Amino acid sequence: MRTLEDRIQINAPHAVVWGLLSDFSGVATWAPYLRSSSPVGDVESGVGAYRVMRHFWGFRLEESVVEWDDGSGFEFDVVRVPFPIKAVRETWRIEDAEDHVVVATRVEYDTHLGPVGAAIDAAIVSLLVRREMREGLKGLKRYAETVATGLPEVAEGEAIA
State the pLDDT at residue 86: 80
Q: Is the overall model pTM greater than 0.75, yes or no?
A: yes
State the pLDDT at residue 160: 43
Which residues is 10 bridged to in the sheet?
101
The dihedral through the CA atoms of 6, 129, 155, 38 has a sign that is negative
User: Three-state DSSP class for 147?
Assistant: helix
Give the confidence band of 31 by pLDDT, cuts at 50, 70, 90: very high
Share in percent of the chain as helix, strand, coil (round to 5)? 30, 40, 30
State the pLDDT at residue 121: 67
State the pLDDT at residue 106: 96
Give the confidence band of 113 by pLDDT, cuts at 50, 70, 90: confident
**What superfamily would CATH give domain 2-149?**
START domain (3.30.530.20)
- Point out the least confidently predicted range of 57-71, 117-131, 132-146: 117-131
Dihedral of CA atoms 115, 133, 42, 62 in degrees, nearest 10, equals -30
User: Three-state DSSP class for 141?
Assistant: helix
User: Three-state DSSP class for 59?
Assistant: coil
pLDDT digit string (tens) for 60-106?
999 999 999 999 999 999 987 767 678 889 999 999 988 899 999 99
Where along the chain do its domains lie? 2-149
